[in-house]
Structure 1
Amino acid sequence: MNQNREERPTDLIYGRNAVLEALKSDQCLDKLYIAAGDGKGSIGRIIGMARDRGIPVKDVTQQKLDAMCGTEGHQGVAATVAAVRYSTLEEVYQRAEEKGEPLFVILADEIEDPHNLGALIRTAECSGAHGIIIPKRRSAGLSPTVFKASAGAASYLPVVRVANLAAAMEELKGRGVWLYCADMDGQTWCKVDYSGAVGLVVGSEGNGVGRLIKEKCDFTVALPMLGSINSLNASVAGGILMYEIARQRLKL
């Protein structure tokens, strides 16, 4: 039990009253965890409030909650607190307009490792991106771990969390944004023209970019794999491509 207490996340709150008050006070919550099968009474109210605010709700086992909280006194509910607030797509558009630049956004497709997402946010901010878009499901969120891995860049770069990444891509296309997918079977990364409004889609190193997301992209770009390993860390691959986009924008 002591080991579990030492390992429990510092961004976690648990207990029905604590979570309910956090929701009432408009505290920025990243994700809600509910003991599977427990959706009645105050738990049902908590779930409804979380969904109204667009907070992902995840069913977990009682044992998982015990381990997360380091106690059995969680009353079937826990929530992680976001380190900073999420932005909106409108704020990202406005950021590009204020700088007088064509839109440059990163779309992270199901990157669940918080260190990877944090590193991606850090590089995106340094390379001049106007924002990063992540899905609500199957993705790391703006947890303190992500914030730390971003070296504070999450304080400066808008991070938008959307219910449907494919729908967000359609919205970007409607604004004249060209979507580029990082994948093994694409054109050589440095022979592609990234001028104009750009959306760079980066997938997880485990599964890459999902099929539906890939089909919505206008171009597929690839990095050469010259060794025995056939994939790069998502934040490393994303970083190389982001700086190629930055290089072309700066006309270097």
Structure 2
Amino acid sequence: MRYEELTIEGRNPVLEAFRAGKTVDRLFILDGCQDGPVKSILREAKKGDTIINFVKKERLDQLSETGKHQGVIAYTAAYDYATVEDILQIAKDKDEPPFIIVLDNIEDPHNLGAMIRTANQAGAHGIIIPKRRAVGLTATVAKVSAGAINYTPVAKVTNLAVTIEELKKEGLWFVCADMDGEVMYKLDLKGPIGLVIGSEGEGVGRLVKEKCDFIAKIPMLGNIDSLNASVAMGVLSYEIVRQRMS
């Protein structure tokens, strides 16, 4: 299985990547560099949602894999992103109530890859991630997903709280994983649902949490108070599966 190049270096290759319609997640440009090719690259980057970082030469040298970056390095998505509408359409085509996973600030590519894999097996119709402060669809994510990335669409949105509001209008309701909630076995998790999982360090952000209809707690019987984020997502996903099948 072939994965697209994660890092693109050099002015022409980066410009061509933009012109070919590749999704460029992040762009690193030598601070103070303002010549023609760089201006063209910046113009292309500003058309999309690329995060632009102006950095010192030392930082570029550190990021470079080839040593020939010419003051420009781009991180591209290993796979293209879907839209939220695409995810809803998949549920409609399967004639199933939508089941969507919403991930808040997951920064570890291994976690995201594992979550895509689990989402696929649990029958989720897609995953939604935020544009900022979260890992995108990198080559590592693709590898860890064990091929599931080809079947489970991932949408990237500017504002998770706003997206949740819009999905509520489509009939979905949202359950968020948090230790302050009701034990998951006591909740009715049937019907069109969005499962919201936060990062291990910070959990689900306050604004996103406030949009959720229910807060679900996974029973913890051990000596530590949390599970790995991808494991928590798996446990709750399969409680949703169990209730849907019963």
Check whether TM > 0.5. yes
What amino acid does structure 2 have at the position aligned with 1:98? D
CA-CA distance at 1:37 after TM superposition: 5.2
Unaligned runs of at least 5 residues, structure 2? none
Unaligned runs of at least 5 residues, structure 1? 1-8
For residue 161 of structure 1, give the secondary structure of its aligned residue in structure 2.
strand
Structure 2 CA distance for partners of 1:244 and 1:146, relative to 1, 3 Å: same
For residue 100 of structure 2, give the secondary structure of its aligned residue in structure 1.
strand
Structure 2 CA distance for partners of 1:235 and 1:12, relative to 1, 3 Å: same
Does residue 111 in structure 1 map to residue 77 in structure 2?
Answer: no
Does residue 153 in structure 1 map to residue 148 in structure 2?
Answer: yes
Which of 213, 224, 227 is residue 219 of structure 2 equivalent to?
224
Structure 2 CA distance for partners of 1:146 and 1:220, relative to 1, 3 Å: same
Which of 154, 168, 171 is residue 176 of structure 1 equivalent to?
171
CA-CA distance at 1:223 after TM superposition: 1.1
Which of 180, 183, 186 is residue 185 of structure 1 equivalent to?
180
Which of 38, 45, 53 is residue 50 of structure 1 equivalent to?
45
User: What do the CA deviations read for 1:31-69 (whole angstroms, capped 9, x no partner)?
Assistant: 322345556643343233123122333444432221111
Match of 1:240 in 2: 235
Instruction: Write the mapping of 1:92-111 to structure 2, written as runs, cut at 5 A.
Output: 92-111=87-106
- Given that 1:118 and 1:147 are in contact with CA atoms closer than 8 Å, whether structure 2 keeps it comes out as yes
- Given that 2:5 and 2:76 are in contact with CA atoms closer than 8 Å, whether structure 1 keeps it comes out as no
- Given that 1:185 and 1:222 are in contact with CA atoms closer than 8 Å, whether structure 2 keeps it comes out as yes
Aligned counterparts of 2:220 and 2:31: Cα–Cα separation in 1: 43
Does residue 89 in structure 1 map to residue 80 in structure 2?
Answer: no
What amino acid does structure 2 have at the position aligned with 1:224? P
User: What do the CA deviations read for 1:84-104 (whole angstroms, capped 9, x no partner)?
Assistant: 211111111110001111110
What amino acid does structure 2 have at the position aligned with 1:112? E
Q: Judge which range, 151-160 or 37-46, deviates more.
A: 37-46
Does residue 125 in structure 1 map to residue 120 in structure 2?
Answer: yes
CA-CA distance at 1:125 after TM superposition: 0.7
Match of 1:80 in 2: 75
Provide the TM-score with structure 1 as the length reference: 0.90
- Given that 1:30 and 1:142 are in contact with CA atoms closer than 8 Å, whether structure 2 keeps it comes out as no
For residue 225 of structure 1, give the secondary structure of its aligned residue in structure 2.
coil
Match of 2:8 in 1: 13
Does residue 34 in structure 1 map to residue 33 in structure 2?
Answer: no
Match of 1:3 in 2: none
Give aligned pairs, total.
Answer: 243
- Given that 1:30 and 1:143 are in contact with CA atoms closer than 8 Å, whether structure 2 keeps it comes out as no
Match of 2:201 in 1: 206
Q: RMSD over aligned Cα, in angstroms?
A: 1.9
What amino acid does structure 1 have at the position aligned with 2:102? L
Structure 2 CA distance for partners of 1:104 and 1:195, relative to 1, 3 Å: same
Aligned counterparts of 1:127 and 1:164: Cα–Cα separation in 2: 25
Match of 1:142 in 2: 137
Aligned counterparts of 2:12 and 2:182: Cα–Cα separation in 1: 54
- Given that 2:5 and 2:78 are in contact with CA atoms closer than 8 Å, whether structure 1 keeps it comes out as no
Q: Judge which range, 171-180 or 39-48, deviates more.
A: 39-48
- Given that 1:116 and 1:235 are in contact with CA atoms closer than 8 Å, whether structure 2 keeps it comes out as yes
Provide the TM-score with structure 2 as the length reference: 0.92
Structure 2 CA distance for partners of 1:228 and 1:34, relative to 1, 3 Å: farther
Aligned counterparts of 1:226 and 1:61: Cα–Cα separation in 2: 49
- Given that 1:28 and 1:81 are in contact with CA atoms closer than 8 Å, whether structure 2 keeps it comes out as yes
Aligned identity (percent) is 53
